[in-house]
Amino acid sequence: MNYVWIVLIVVIVGFYVYRMVPAKGVKSISPAQVQGLLSSDRASVQFVDVREPNEYKSGHVNGFKNIPLSQLSKRMTELSNDKPVVVMCRSGSRSMQAAKMLGKNGFKDIRNASGGIMAYNAQNAK
């Protein structure tokens, strides 16, 4: 009986680790790097917040377009696969899923905002 629990725990932990591991071609960037891109490359980089609209409305980073993860596959045509994409969510998990999805659809330069908006806000509160 104990082995069943151990296997179950290993599978659950493995699943979450797999979801957090960067996909091939996805770069993790720090909140400071996100801020730098927003300051210097706003016209040449696409910034996407993949949180749900109610989360986005409660507070977002200026310059980020809201395309919820649940709608990304349908709205991917709103993005150019020739330009870098920075994806952000609350903590970095959903944006990693979005980054993987973008990578599978031909996007080459994908950057995941490490720690999401929580880390970004903490960095900029200093």
Query: Could you list the active site residues?
Result: 89
CA atoms within 13 A on the CB side of 58: 9
d(CA 25, CA 77): 20
Closest CA to 68 of 46, 98, 103: 98
Residues 6+ apart with CB under 8 A from 66: 48, 49, 51, 53, 56, 60
- Look at the chain and count its residues: 126
